[in-house]
């Protein structure tokens, strides 16, 4: 290859880059922009639900006039639109692409010892499809009748009929187009991750020497490949119903004074197809977060992760079970009750590997030498919210108990804690931990501490009381609760929750300031700032193509040899960590 081929132009380096490290940064920044939009939306609708009749200058400023009543209060269908787009953006654009896209791209080649992803082109394509789908989703906010507003689950017929809600017109069309492209990017990305992990591991990097992060990202990619295509077909059939007059989901509908020409379809079919992705999606979001935390907790505890093989086993068990539990979202959908029994059984089984994971994390802390870097704080926060949110899953997964809490705020509290807050914590932990690898500089520690503590207080302040208003029977997705005197005494709780939400929202500014300032002004990172064992810390601080300037290092041990001592109780290599590239000492047993 001649010399000038190596020279990178601005376009090939920063825009259509094939380098996995650059692509991961592109994913992260796009995900963060989407995150800001998603969080802002939640603050707007929290204001509405807490003070329903009041107008707020912030709402008047952010919402176009046609989305407001004369008194400056948001309209009911716009409330639903905000709820819908908040859910879509947070689940797919932030926690799927932003989290898994960022860290799969950054860490897979670095931690397994590969020069780059198996296909740099597919990787680049994956990001740009993600970018296009993000743009379409954002554009949909500005269409005349408002964006999609049938809930992030877009159940037809509501999502299929513009007569039923204005957002089901152009807004919904754009939503479907955006999601179709999103699914394509996710599949392309996932296939690339799987192929890379299976084929490009460096010498000595057996599957049982992979860091748990790799295992989590690997299994996540597999679940994605298995389940995302089903959502694609669900969306495709919905497009057919909406645009070409087919009746896959629609039947016997009378709306706007006339009978529509649909017969024989069933919305329950859509629910099955949707949740066949929708439930595994929870784990697509959560497993990467758990994977990142495993690494961070072990490193900062200066201890091996407890039960490495059990952790791999539980990741696999969770992944397998996650594909056969989707019916627990549909206990009261009109589905055969016997089918409900089966789904109750499989759903509650998933609590077992989850419990194993939680206990293993706690045991990892036990007798550790905990280094409270910001990443570690967020990781401990994740374990806490994962337990709190996970336990209420035992209520919701039980078909009998689900009857009365289904679609109430109890559900909202449950999934926000177990997959929302937990996954966001995992993402923050990952950013604080791998920021030096991404940008070659360190993030500010004190701002990190401030960010964590305000966020932790706000998260429980919002979502813990939320369980109780759900148990009081308050349905979710109500524009206002003032039409039911029954719920009048919940208004105070709702206001307190909103205040905590606003505090939590403001705390994220601290993070954004820290993030962008540190890119330019952060302290220059050393090669292995956290004294970690994994391969990514053997690469130079300044990014080079192919990751390692010379040979790719060989791996001789698992990634968790922290505080390993010999018979005399002395560290084997004099330090409390032994990198994977260090060969076994004579007489040393492999852990």
Partner 1 sequence: MLALFYFFVAVAFAIGVWQVNKLLTYRVIFNEIKDGKKTITLENDNNPIATEKDNNLQGKLFLIFLIGFYLLMGYCLIFLQDIMLPDSASIEGEDYDNLYRITFWLIGVVQFITQALLYFFAYKYRGVKGTKATFFADSHKLELIWTTIPTVVLAVLILYGLSIWNDVTDLEGDDAILVEVYAKQFAWEARYAGRDNELGRGNVRNIEGANSMGIDLTDAKSSDDIPVRELHLPVGKKVVFKFRSQDVLHSAYMPHFRAQMNCVPGMVTEFGFTPKFTTEEMRQQKDVIRKVASVNKVRQANGDDAYEFDYLLLCNKICGPSHYNMQMKIVVESEKDYLIWLNQQKTAKELFKL
Report the residue number, 191 or 471, with the smaller CB distance to partner 1: 471
Distance CA 517, CA 443 (A): 8
Burial string for 53-70 (b: 16+ CB within 10 Å, else e) reads eebbeebeeebeeebbee
Name the minimum Å distance from CB 20 to partner 1. Answer: 25
Residue 105 CB, shortest distance to partner 1, in Å, is: 24
- Name the DSSP class of 255: E
Query: How buried is residue 542: exposed, middle or buried, by Cβ count under 10 Å (0-12/13-18/19+)?
Result: exposed
Q: How far apart are CA 529 and CA 472, in angstroms?
A: 49
Q: Is 475 helix (H, G, I), strand (E, B) or coil?
A: strand
**Which one, 124 or 443, has the nearer CB to partner 1?**
443
Q: In angstroms, give the least distance from the CB of 492 to partner 1.
A: 7
- Residue number with CB closer to partner 1 (319 or 380): 380
Residues forming a β-bridge with 571: 565
* Residue 74 backbone dihedrals phi, psi, to 5 degrees: -65, 150
Task: Kindly state the smallest distance separating residue 163's Cβ from partner 1, in Å.
Answer: 8
Q: Are 357 and 293 in contact (CB under 8 A)?
A: no
CB atoms within 10 A of CB 544: 11
- What is the spatial distance between Cα 52 and Cα 45, in angstroms, rounded to a whole number? 10
Q: Measured from the CB atom, is 101 or 169 closer to partner 1? A: 169
Residue 407 beta carbon to partner 1: minimum distance, rounded to whole angstroms = 5
| Closest CB 428 distance from partner 1, rounded Å | 15
| Between 246 and 495, CB nearer to partner 1 | 495
Inter-CA distances, 127 with 13, 130, 216, 312, 502, Å: 14, 5, 21, 29, 31
CB of 451 to partner 1, least distance (A): 10
Give the sign of the dihedral formed by CA 73, CA 76, CA 81, CA 87: positive
Nearer to partner 1, 193 or 425 (CB): 425
Of the pair 16, 571, the CB lying nearest partner 1 is at 571
What pairs with residue 254 in β-bridges?
Answer: 259
Nearer to partner 1, 204 or 475 (CB): 475
Smaller CB separation from partner 1, 120 or 475: 475
Q: Which is nearer to partner 1, 177 or 391 (CB)?
A: 391
Residue 222 C-beta: closest distance to partner 1, Å: 23
Q: Considering beta carbons, is residue 82 or 114 the nearer one to partner 1?
A: 82
Least distance CB 34 / partner 1 (angstroms): 23
Shortest reach from residue 588's CB to partner 1, in Å: 12
Residue of 41, 83, 44, 82 whose CA lies nearest to 476: 83
Give me the least distance between CB of 295 and partner 1, in Å please: 15
C-alpha separations of 310 from 275, 294, 319, 436, 501 in Å? 28, 13, 14, 30, 37
Return the number of the residue (135 or 394) whose C-beta is nearest partner 1. Answer: 394
Distance of CA 123 to the CA centre of its chain: 19
Determine the straight-line distance between the first and last CA of the chain, rounded to whole angstroms.
44
CA torsion sign for 468, 469, 474, 478 is negative
Considering the complex, what minimum distance in angstroms separates the CB of residue 437 from partner 1? 14
Going by C-beta distance under 8 Å and a sequence separation of 6 or more, which residues neighbour residue 158?
A: 150, 151, 164, 165, 168
Cβ proximity to partner 1: between 201 and 303 the closer is 303
What is the rounded (10 degree) CA torsion for 539, 540, 544, 546? -20
Query: What are 206's two structure tokens?
Result: 């057996």
Which of 157, 161, 153, 176 is CA-nearest to residue 265?
157
Query: Residue 415 and residue 403: Cα distance in Å, rounded?
Result: 17
> Minimum CB separation from partner 1 for residue 42, in Å?
16
For residue 565, the 8-state DSSP code is: B
């Amino acid at each position: 290859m001649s010399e000038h081929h190596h020279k990178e132009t601005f376009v090939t380096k920063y825009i259509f880059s094939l380098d996995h490290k650059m692509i991961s940064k592109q994913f992260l920044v796009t995900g963060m922009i989407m995150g800001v939009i998603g969080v802002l939306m939640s603050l707007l609708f929290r204001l509405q639900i807490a003070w329903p009749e009041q107008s707020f200058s912030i709402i008047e400023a952010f919402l176009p006039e046609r989305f407001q009543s004369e008194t400056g209060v948001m309209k009911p269908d716009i409330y639903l639109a905000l709820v819908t787009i908040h859910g879509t953006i947070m689940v797919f654009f932030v926690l799927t692409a932003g989290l898994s896209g960022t860290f799969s791209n950054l860490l897979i080649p670095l931690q397994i010892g590969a020069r780059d992803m198996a296909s740099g082109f597919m990787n680049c394509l994956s990001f740009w499809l993600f970018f296009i789908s993000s743009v379409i989703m954002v554009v949909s906010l500005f269409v005349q009748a408002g964006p999609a507003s049938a809930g992030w689950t877009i159940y037809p017929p509501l999502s299929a009929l513009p007569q039923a809600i204005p957002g089901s017109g152009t807004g919904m069309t754009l939503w479907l187009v955006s999601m179709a492209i999103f699914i394509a990017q996710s599949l392309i990305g996932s296939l690339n991750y799987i192929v890379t992990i299976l084929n490009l591991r460096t010498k000595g990097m057996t599957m049982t020497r992979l860091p748990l992060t790799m295992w989590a990202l690997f299994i996540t990619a597999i679940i994605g490949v298995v389940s995302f295509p089903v959502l694609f077909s669900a969306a495709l059939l919905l497009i057919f119903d909406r645009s070409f007059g087919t009746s896959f989901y629609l039947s016997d509908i009378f709306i706007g004074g006339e009978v529509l020409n649909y017969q024989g379809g069933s919305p329950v079919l859509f629910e099955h197809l949707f949740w066949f992705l929708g439930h595994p999606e929870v784990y697509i979001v959560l497993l990467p977060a758990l994977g990142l935390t495993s690494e961070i907790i072990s490193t900062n505890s200066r201890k091996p992760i407890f039960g490495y093989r059990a952790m791999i086993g539980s990741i696999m068990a969770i992944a397998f079970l996650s594909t056969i539990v989707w019916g627990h979202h549909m206990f009261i959908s009109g589905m055969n009750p016997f089918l409900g029994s089966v789904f109750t059984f499989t759903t509650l089984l998933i609590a077992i590997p989850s419990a194993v994971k939680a206990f293993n994390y706690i045991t990892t802390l036990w007798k550790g030498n905990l280094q409270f870097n910001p990443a570690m704080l967020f990781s401990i926060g994740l374990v806490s919210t994962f337990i709190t949110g996970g336990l209420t899953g035992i209520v919701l997964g039980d078909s009998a108990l689900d009857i009365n809490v289904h679609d109430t705020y109890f559900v909202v509290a449950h999934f926000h804690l177990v997959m929302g807050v937990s996954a966001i914590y995992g993402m923050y932990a990952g950013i604080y931990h791998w920021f030096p690898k991404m940008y070659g500089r360190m993030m500010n520690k004190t701002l990190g501490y401030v960010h964590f503590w305000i966020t932790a207080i706000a998260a429980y302040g919002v979502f813990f009381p939320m369980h109780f208003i759900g148990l009081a029977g308050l349905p979710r997705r109500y524009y206002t609760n003032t039409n039911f005197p029954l719920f009048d005494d919940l208004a105070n709780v709702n206001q307190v929750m909103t205040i905590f939400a606003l505090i939590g929202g403001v705390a994220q500014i601290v993070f954004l300031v820290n993030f962008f300032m540190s890119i330019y002004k952060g302290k220059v990172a050393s090669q292995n700032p956290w004294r970690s064992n994994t391969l990514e810390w053997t690469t130079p601080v300044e990014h080079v193509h192919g990751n390692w300037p010379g040979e790719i290092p060989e791996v001789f041990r698992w990634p968790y040899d922290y505080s390993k001592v010999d018979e005399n109780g002395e560290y084997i290599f004099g330090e409390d960590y032994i990198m994977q590239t260090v060969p076994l000492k004579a007489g040393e047993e492999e852990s």
